[in-house]
Amino acid sequence: MKNLFKTIIILFLMSAACRGVFSYEIDIKADELEYIQGDNVIRANGNVVMGWQGREVKADYVMFKVEEKTMHASGNVRIEESGNSFAASSIDYDFAQETGDIKDSVVNASIIFMHAKEMTRYKDDAKDAYAIRHVTLSNCDLDDPHTCFRARTGKIVLGERVTIYNPVLYIGKVPIFYLPFITKSLKGGGGFEMGNFKYTFEPGYTNEGGFSIKNTLAYKFSNAITLKGFYDYLGSRGNGYGGEFNYFTNNAKGSIYAYKINDRFANMERWTVRPYYWQRINKEWTIQSQAELISDNSFNNYYNQGDWNRTLNRLYSYAALTRQGQSTNLLIALQRHDNYNGIEYVTEQMSLPQVNFTYYPKKIFLGITHSFNLLYDNNYREYSTGNLFYKNTAAANYNLTKDFRIGKRLTLKPALTISEEWYDRDNQGYYDHTFLTKYTSSLNSRLRVTSWMDWNFNYSARMRAEKNSLAIDSSANDYGLEANHLAYTNYMYIGSRTTVRNTLSYNFMNYRTPYSPSDNNLYRTPQTSSRWSPLATEIIYTPKYYITAYIRQTQLIDPLKFQALQVDLQIGSLEKMYFNFGVFYQYYDDPVMSYRSKEIDNTIGFGLWVTPKWRIDYNIRTTSRLDLTYSRLNDHEFKLYRDLHCYNLGLTWRVRNSYNEVFFKFDMKTNTPFDRRNLEKEMSEDEEIFYPWR
């Protein structure tokens, strides 16, 4: 009761003193309050809370000088201002000048940690701005961060932005590089921000170049824009350099990757440029373009091993404008195909332009569905030996279909198509202006044999008319019949986890002579090949949601002979723990390839998190002789990963035929903290877009 009465007296005296000095109220609470009347000083100890004008200071000890309008707080200090909270060792504040000095402050906001030896509040600054000195900025939450930027001076606006001048990036205690300034949004926004930097270096060794080191510096300007720079020292092969720019929004996606090296080992300049762009103009119109430019077909195998296409024998480049409406689709494209001839890439074909208009299937009457397609192509290619030229072609196709349901088990779908083709030259380059009419009919039947089996039969025939006529070209080697075959597909659903599919077709084509040069090698005669296609059997078995087994076997019918076998087994998921196993075998009649009939290809791989911080992945591809007299290693890749809080550390050992390399990979997790639980999240459709560069 005595202490309570004493506290009330102190609060009364303090309030009276403050009213005479300040134009606003100052509230103070503590376990112990002492007012020294002669010095006009208030001392507070234990769980002190002091508030004024929306600001609040919490500390173990506060000394408030009423006459001088100053306050000193120390011991577990926490300052709350404008909805922001940060810690410090002490604070000295001048209420009259509305400025203060804060020692050893720690600010945490937007996945950033700031340590400052001194913070001084700017006078009369309504933005809650502070000058900061001896600053450390990091995404590491440790007192001694693994990676950070350090600077002597800077500025912070609470809840808005922190900027430091002349910062130096440190990894541990080692300085790496200098920047003129860095600014970081405390709201998670854009700007030239330290948290968006990522540096990766990969020291290693290759059997052809010796010691090597790959360097990558990436910067994320915003959620939409990322820039990367590459500089690689590849030993005796030379120095490689390049860059990558990525732009990604809901309505536009673009990227360009470029890399170049003067390969001293191969004694040639090797390079690649890979631009890509897509944009949605409005609900109907989109544009898209891509280019593949590369010096040689084996570039990826040495310098871009993350690309799935290790050798590029064909390059595909295009630019397209598409309009997709409710009932129609229009595509206008410029495209080019290049083929590698063993020395260089040469143009195989080029369309300038190609226009494709499609009218989607729509019911008209009596359940009949019609559709229409129109194609124009100004195509440059080699139409006959040594004759490369542009040839204008056009084709119009009109299609009618109707579904007939017979009972509960049988569905019939007949279709009729008439097409009109036009071209301005023949295959020798002479102007011809020929119209060619073709008639196509087909009948597709689907029979539900049992609740677990479906049969699908499809018969199709296509007849060709004489040039500039509607009469069938019956005098031709193929009697004017371009296609005449029956295809069969069997579906079986065994339980809920096994699916079996069989496919087989028979060719009814007949010819006057075994081969006619005018047929352009398109027709295969009964005398030189079987009418039967290989019988293919596919089995997909999923005993558990994390186990998938796939088997595909093909069998020649005439003559009856085993052709090929493929087996794939996958257990688990690639992001967590997995095991993969694959086998492929094919029989070859060709004497040149007969040695492959005695070999079998195998793939095996596994990956798992050994601990929450350690992960290993191992994948190999081998070729073995069936009698086990030899086995050669085609591909071998071993990866070891270690999570080091602020760093990613990895080891990759890769062997591809005679080329092998081993690299350590080190990068900083400077943007977001690593969390293995993130691996369980499914990627969005946009995130699954594959960019074929690193």
**Interval 339-389: pLDDT, tens:** 888 888 888 888 889 999 999 999 998 889 999 999 999 888 887 777 788
- Of 102-106, 317-321, 591-595, 626-630, highest mean pLDDT: 317-321
| Block residue for tokens 């143009």 | 347
| Domain boundaries along the sequence of the chain | 2-194, 403-546
| Block residue for tokens 């993350």 | 306
And the tokens for 566? Answer: 């493929």
pLDDT tens-digit readout, 474-490:
888 888 999 999 999 99
C-alpha torsion angle, residues 98, 99, 105, 110 (rounded to 10): 60
Per-residue pLDDT band for 514 (boundaries 50, 70, 90) equals low
The CATH code for residues 2-194 is: 2.60.450.10
The answer for residues whose C-beta is within 8 angstroms of residue 573's C-beta and 6 or more apart is 546
Per-residue pLDDT band for 595 (boundaries 50, 70, 90) equals confident
pLDDT tens-digit readout, 391-436:
888 999 999 999 999 988 999 999 999 999 998 888 777 788 889 9
Mean per-residue pLDDT of the chain = 83
Per-residue pLDDT band for 247 (boundaries 50, 70, 90) equals very high
Find the range with the poorest average confidence among 17-26, 132-141, 257-266, 551-560. Answer: 17-26
pLDDT tens-digit readout, 166-209:
998 887 788 887 888 888 777 754 444 455 677 787 888 888 77
Q: b or e along 375-414 (b: 16 or more beta carbons within 10 Å of the residue's beta carbon)?
A: bbbbbbeebeeeeeeebebbbebebebeeeeeeeeebebe
Find the range with the poorest average confidence among 177-181, 192-196, 301-305, 525-529. Answer: 525-529
pLDDT tens-digit readout, 207-223:
877 888 888 888 888 88
Amino acid at 314: R
Instruction: Give the whole-angstrom CA distance, residue 351 versus residue 316.
Output: 12
Instruction: Give the whole-angstrom CA distance, residue 397 versus residue 421.
Output: 9
Q: Compute φ and ψ for 591, nearest 5 degrees.
A: -60, -30
pLDDT of residue 522 exceeding 70, the answer is no
* Model pTM score: 0.67
Cα angle 467-472-478, degrees, rounded to a multiple of 5: 95
Mean pLDDT to the nearest integer, 436-444: 94
Find the range with the poorest average confidence among 280-284, 495-499, 510-514. Answer: 510-514
* Measured CA distances, 539 to 109, 457, 464, 566 (Å): 54, 20, 39, 10
Please give the pLDDT value at position 184.
78
Please give the pLDDT value at position 23.
59
And the tokens for 64? Answer: 């408030």
Q: How far apart are the first and last CA of the chain?
A: 74
